[in-house]
Amino acid sequence: MVKLAVQEEYDTYDDEVHFLVKLPFLCTRTKIIEIVAAKDVIFALAQSGLCAAFNRTTNKRICYLNISPDEVIRSLFYNKNNESLITVSVYESDCFSSLKCRTTPIEYIRRGQLKDGFPLFETESLKYPGFVEFDDVNGKVLTFSAKGCTYKVFDLKNYNFLYSICDENIQEIKISPGIMLVIYNYKKTNCHVPLTILSIEDGTPLKTFNQLLHRNRKVDFIEQFNEKLLVKQDKENLQIIDVGHH
């Protein structure tokens, strides 16, 4: 039996917090919802939106990643392609309505030079229900702007724009290794759901088809796993369908 022992404890909150932020709830202790390890640096994100970076060698706090007093950090992503940390935040000045992304090299964070990071996807309107999704497996970033019902794909290595998909009939896009599954709008009374499989590299359609459904049964989930499509409906068996697109 492996015995686990505490090696070190880090405290995200101390008196310094009150001098760095202006939103009262950022100063309140809340649970840690995300921990990211990037070599010798550990990032801890609290539910309040406060995020701290710690040096694993010295076990000291390096800095807080909230570079603006009204910044609430929602999520973190460690980009191994360029050794940087991406923060996804909302701001009081924007009524917390839009997601803003920022990338900062880990080396800059080690030195406490947060101001040397730079914003990402500034041209995108990421107001709710807009979103940004980072895909480490394929090395891609997927954004959705509700304003124009537009999905865009970017290269995770250099953040270059690759292609866009604009269709108000899209209900959801699922990412799998090498491909994207596009699920179009359908009604519970329908006996099928329209689907398209795209190449994630350039958005080329690989296969378009209608997947049969049990009428009047709620769809629990539709997932793509390699060349297998998984469909589960309420009170029905899980369907596994071969949708090989080669």
Residue 46: partners with Cβ closer than 8 Å, 6 or more residues away: 12, 13, 29, 30, 31, 32, 33
192-235 pLDDT tens trace: 999 999 999 999 999 999 999 988 889 999 998 888 999 999 99
Say how far apart CA 176 and CA 168 lie, in whole Å.
22
Say how far apart CA 98 and CA 216 lie, in whole Å.
36
Q: What is the DSSP letter of 62?
A: E
Residue 127 tokens, joined: 């107001």
CA distances from 85 to 44, 150, 212 (A): 12, 26, 42
Q: What is the DSSP letter of 188?
A: T
Say how far apart CA 139 and CA 109 lie, in whole Å.
23
74-100 pLDDT tens trace: 999 999 999 999 999 999 999 999 999
Residue 122: its pLDDT value, please? 93
DSSP 120-147: E-TTS--BTT-EEEEETTTTEEEEEETT
Coil, helix or strand at residue 116: helix
The sign one gets for the Cα dihedral 88, 90, 94, 96 is: positive
Residue position matching structure tokens 């809340």:
30
Residue 127: partners with Cβ closer than 8 Å, 6 or more residues away: 97, 98, 99, 146, 147
Assess whether the region 1-120 and the region 168-246 belong to the same CATH fold: yes
* Half-sphere CA count of 200, side-chain side, radius 13 A: 22
Coil, helix or strand at residue 166: strand
Q: What percent of the chain has pLDDT over 90?
A: 71
CATH, domain range 168-246: 2.40.10
Residue 188: its pLDDT value, please? 72
The full set of domain ranges for the chain reads 1-120, 125-166, 168-246
126-180 pLDDT tens trace: 999 999 999 999 999 999 998 889 999 999 999 999 999 999 999 999 999 999 9
Please state which architecture CATH assigns to domain 1-120.
Answer: Beta Barrel (2.40)
Say how far apart CA 144 and CA 72 lie, in whole Å.
20
Mean pLDDT across the chain:
90
